[in-house]
Amino acid sequence: MNTIQIQSPYVIFLGDIEDKTLAKTGAGLAKWCQDDVLGQLRLPGCKVDLGLADISLDEAVANGAKSLVIGVATVGGSIHADWLPVFAKALDKGLDIVNGLHTDLATIPMLMAAQEHSAGRIINVRHVGRTLPIATGRKRTGLRLLTVGTDCAVGKKYTALELTRALNAKGIDATFRASGQTGIMIAGEGLPIDSIVSDFVSGASELLSPDNSAEHWDIIEGQGSLFNPSFSAVSMGLLHGSQPDAFILCHDIARERISTCPDYPIPDLQACIQLHLDCARIVNPQVRCVGVSVNTSSLDPGKRRDYLTRLQAELELPCVDPLIDGCEAFVTLIAKQFHQSDTGKAHAES
Amino acid sequence: MNTIQIQSPYVIFLGDIEDKTLAKTGAGLAKWCQDDVLGQLRLPGCKVDLGLADISLDEAVANGAKSLVIGVATVGGSIHADWLPVFAKALDKGLDIVNGLHTDLATIPMLMAAQEHSAGRIINVRHVGRTLPIATGRKRTGLRLLTVGTDCAVGKKYTALELTRALNAKGIDATFRASGQTGIMIAGEGLPIDSIVSDFVSGASELLSPDNSAEHWDIIEGQGSLFNPSFSAVSMGLLHGSQPDAFILCHDIARERISTCPDYPIPDLQACIQLHLDCARIVNPQVRCVGVSVNTSSLDPGKRRDYLTRLQAELELPCVDPLIDGCEAFVTLIAKQFHQSDTGKAHAES
């Protein structure tokens, strides 16, 4: 695939940050790529601990590290001056620097110079260096599921990752397809859809889930929301380029207003499913919604169960909190609707 | 707003294209900026004729030309290698090269070199030099109409320009807002929405039609189509950033398949209106469709009239070919629905 490729094993760079919420990129990697992560590299003053082994650059290189991944997301995407000598030294030692911040590290003179004499590369995950095609709308082989949302940051990446794991556990072949910077670091490849020029968003989305075997699922990480007026362009392009056979709607029950547009309420779930069906049918008339993934962390356990039971009865779809319930309910419905047996293998192998 | 200044008179470059649909930039300039255009420059093999005088570079310079405007829009914005020596020669002669394609001409070594020794500049209309904001969704004052389409290249720009002229002729204050390269060349300002990173498409679209007086119309040039899977991201961002009070659906009766996606039929007009209403209501619950603009040039006059009469009865909306009928029928409905008198002045001035 002509996407961004990242080499593991990783060292996660945490710098000197004091606030754990700034380390969500690193935390995502620690959770989803444990086997690819050698440890965390922290500078003096760092108060965040991802529960990984502390490791120096020399130790990392001795243990076969290939990439230093910047695991922090500072406000405004700024790079602290203290970090630069560390990045330069990592390049000197032949490591790639994987950067998910908006700042293009390759424009910083110290790092440009270091890169010139190094086998290591600066990989700006948000910058797509290649020429992208315009979407053709051609139907591709294989099956695709896209996670969509009532807003951004409502669990689309988490749901896609957890569903991929649950499908594979059930013997259904599935690949997580990353469309955002953290997802790309977790998967080791992908395309940062929100950073792509709008004319090429659908074309990039087509590249993200290429032709595959008939019973293989691409589980595509969604972006934004059709109902978030700031990012609906991203969501629409990803929807049309993905040509999904199925989608899961993600929702955070604590969210009352659209995150970037406080004048807008969170949409009604049934209306949200309907608009996604209407838009997705343009590229795949067979598309269906196969469930709702709800972040219920703001409810106590009794109310949580009542809410999901009511929602499930109302929508006639599996409604779960994947962090608590897992994604098995979605897998069961997918196996029933798209595969001849619940292992998902009968149709492909018979 | 960031504006691009283009110097006239123009020479329109058509290269060696064989298909008139690729010359829509040149055709738009020939129609809307007649007084600024000295002629067309065609290379051997060119099968397109805009009905302008054929002119050489030397003749153009002798007649006071200031800019060579690339009048062709190739798929994907590619530049043919044969064109480069012509552009280099034009720069040598002191002309500006006005480029509406995605490719940044200033990155092509032959042209970089030519520009260094020339008073002429390379003006890439699609490249936005400023930092754009993320959309806020905030309701703006004034009225907005967006032209949308069943596909791209079905008359959205033409309809917006003709409607702006017709509204002003009727005493209703209206401004054409250009969202594409040709429109920007015609209007002298605007933002190239399809060239903007997807995260910022809605934000740029908000900038395009800023707060205005209560009865002023921004007539916004649409881009792509929600039903064209190649460009629906552009269309969705422009729709949500525009927050239209009204839209006109544009359609070409000769078009049977989506231009860039031959597997896709042109949508049913009623379904197309409905999806635009559903998507636009997210940002403006009062939005309404005020008409259908149809390119009927493929029909003979009798059939043309029958078709439009039938369509008008079916949709209960003004249905006209603006090239033949003008846009007065839209103006009458707009005046009736949005203004107290048919001059559009009573409400604002009373």
Task: List the structure tokens of A311.
Answer: 């929602």
Q: Which residues contact B150 (CB under 8 A, 6 or more apart)?
A: B225, B227, B249, B250, B251, B252, B255, B266, B267, B269, B272
How far apart are the CA of B135 and the nearest CA of chain A, in angstroms? 5
Residues B169, B215, single domain; the answer is: yes
* SS3 call for A250: strand
**A137 inside domain:** no
**B314 inside domain:** yes
Q: At CB < 8 A and 24+ separation, what contacts does A76-79 make?
A: A76/A102, A77/A101, A77/A102, A77/A103, A78/A103, A79/A103, A79/A105, A79/A108
Task: Residue B82: give its domain's CATH number.
Answer: 3.40.50.720
Q: Is the pLDDT of residue A340 over 80?
A: no
| Residue from B257, B238, B118 nearest B178 by CA | B238
Phi, psi of A161 (to 5 degrees): -65, -45
Interface test with A, best of B134, B236, B263, B276 (most A CBs within 10 A): B236
* Chain A hits for B263, Cβ within 8 Å: 137-139
Residues A301, A222, single domain; the answer is: yes
Report pLDDT digits (tens) over A269-308.
999 999 999 999 999 999 999 999 999 999 999 999 999 9
Residues B118, B153, single domain; the answer is: no
Q: Give the DSSP H/E element, type plus range, for residue B320.
A: strand B319-320
The pLDDT score that the predictor gives to residue B350 is: 31
Place of tokens 């000598």: A85
Residues B115, B191, single domain; the answer is: no
Residues B263, B229, single domain; the answer is: yes
Residues B115, B187, single domain; the answer is: no
Q: Are the Cβ atoms of B226 and A232 closer than 8 angstroms?
A: no
CA distance B307 to B302: 9
**A307 inside domain:** yes
Q: Give the DSSP H/E element, type plus range, for residue A262.
A: strand A261-265
Identity of residue A25: T
Q: Which residues contact B239 (CB under 8 A, 6 or more apart)?
A: B146, B148, B226, B276, B279, B280, B283
Report pLDDT digits (tens) over B116-146.
889 899 988 877 755 788 999 999 999 999 9
Q: Is the pLDDT of residue B28 over 90?
A: no
Q: Give the DSSP H/E element, type plus range, for residue B58.
A: helix B57-62
C-alpha pair distances (Å), B88 with each of B40, B80, B110, B141, B210: 17, 13, 7, 46, 39
* SS3 call for B12: strand
* Chain B hits for A138, Cβ within 8 Å: 261, 263
- Measured between its terminal Cα atoms, the distance across chain B in Å is 31
Q: Are the Cβ atoms of A233 and B227 closer than 8 angstroms?
A: no
Rounded mean pLDDT, B297-324: 96
Q: Are the Cβ atoms of B202 and A230 closer than 8 angstroms?
A: yes
C-alpha pair distances (Å), B285 with each of A118, A221, A270, B277, B293: 57, 30, 18, 9, 23
Q: Are the Cβ atoms of B194 and A195 closer than 8 angstroms?
A: no
Task: List the structure tokens of B128.
Answer: 């936005």
Residue A40: domain span: 4-124
* Chain A hits for B235, Cβ within 8 Å: 236
**A318 inside domain:** yes
The pLDDT score that the predictor gives to residue A75 is: 67
What is the length of chain B?
A: 350
**A132 inside domain:** no
Q: Which residues contact A163 (CB under 8 A, 6 or more apart)?
A: A145, A147, A174, A219, A248, A322, A327, A330, A331
Across-strand partners of A12? A40, A69
Q: DSSP E strands: which ranges in A100-173?
A: 122-124, 143-149
Which range among A19-28, A295-304, B161-170 shows the weakest confidence by mean pLDDT? Answer: A19-28
Identity of residue B290: V
Instruction: Name the residue among A135, A195, A230 with its Cβ closest to that of B134.
Output: A230
Q: Are the Cβ atoms of B279 and A226 closer than 8 angstroms?
A: yes
Instruction: Name the residue among A229, A241, A279 with its Cβ closest to that of B135.
Output: A229
Residue A274: other Cβ atoms inside 10 A: 14
Last residue of a domain, one of A95, A124, A153: A124
Q: What is the pTM of this model?
A: 0.86
CA distance A319 to A317: 6
Last residue of a domain, one of B124, B151, B178: B124
CA distance B94 to B120: 4
Q: How many domains does chain A have?
A: 2
Q: Does the N-terminal peptide bond of residue B9 adopt cis geometry, omega within 30 degrees of 0?
A: yes
* Chain B hits for A226, Cβ within 8 Å: 236, 279, 282
Report pLDDT digits (tens) over B258-275.
999 999 999 999 999 999
Task: List the structure tokens of A20.
Answer: 């754990």
The pLDDT score that the predictor gives to residue A350 is: 31
Last residue of a domain, one of B67, B94, B124: B124
Residues B209, B72, single domain; the answer is: no
Contact A197/A121 with Cβ under 8 angstroms? no
How far apart are the CA of B181 and the nearest CA of chain A, in angstroms? 13
| Spacing of C-alpha A204 from chain mean position | 15
Averaged pLDDT score across all residues of chain A? 92
Q: Is the pLDDT of residue B99 over 80?
A: yes
**A157 inside domain:** yes
Q: Are the Cβ atoms of B137 and A260 closer than 8 angstroms?
A: yes
Q: Is the pLDDT of residue A167 over 50?
A: yes
Instruction: Name the residue among A229, A278, A282 with its Cβ closest to that of B240.
Output: A229
Report pLDDT digits (tens) over B215-242.
999 999 999 999 999 999 999 999 999 9
Averaged pLDDT score across all residues of chain B? 91
Task: List the structure tokens of A78.
Answer: 């700024």
Place of tokens 């930039």: B25
Q: Are the Cβ atoms of A231 and B282 closer than 8 angstroms?
A: no
CA distance A296 to A321: 6
Q: Is the pLDDT of residue B346 over 80?
A: no
Task: List the structure tokens of A195.
Answer: 């950073």
Q: DSSP E strands: which ranges in B136-233?
A: 143-149, 174-177, 217-220
Residues B184, B291, single domain; the answer is: yes
Residues A210, A74, single domain; the answer is: no
Phi, psi of A220 (to 5 degrees): -95, 125
The pLDDT score that the predictor gives to residue A104 is: 81
* Chain B hits for A241, Cβ within 8 Å: 229
Residues B95, B206, single domain; the answer is: no
DSSP-assigned states of every residue in A179-209: -SHHHHHHHSEE--GGGSBGGGHHHHHHHHS
Q: Tell me the pLDDT band of B182, cut-offs 50, 70 and 90.
A: confident
The pLDDT score that the predictor gives to residue A20 is: 87
Across-strand partners of B37? B10
Residues B95, B161, single domain; the answer is: no
Task: Residue A273: give its domain's CATH number.
Answer: 3.40.50.300
**B41 inside domain:** yes
CA distance B158 to B162: 6
How far apart are the CA of A264 and the nearest CA of chain B, in angstroms? 8
Residues B232, B311, single domain; the answer is: yes
Interface test with B, best of A128, A140, A148, A198 (most B CBs within 10 A): A198
Contact A195/B230 with Cβ under 8 angstroms? no
Q: Tell me the pLDDT band of A164, cut-offs 50, 70 and 90.
A: very high
Q: Does the N-terminal peptide bond of residue A9 adopt cis geometry, omega within 30 degrees of 0?
A: yes
Q: Are the Cβ atoms of A233 and B229 closer than 8 angstroms?
A: no
Q: Tell me the pLDDT band of A342, cut-offs 50, 70 and 90.
A: very low
How far apart are the CA of B284 and the nearest CA of chain A, in angstroms? 11
**B137 inside domain:** no
Q: Are the Cβ atoms of A199 and B231 closer than 8 angstroms?
A: yes
* Chain B hits for A135, Cβ within 8 Å: 229-230, 260-261
Q: Is the pLDDT of residue B341 over 80?
A: no
Residue A175: other Cβ atoms inside 10 A: 16
Using DSSP bridges, classify how beta strands B67-70 and B96-99 pair: parallel, antiparallel or unpaired: parallel
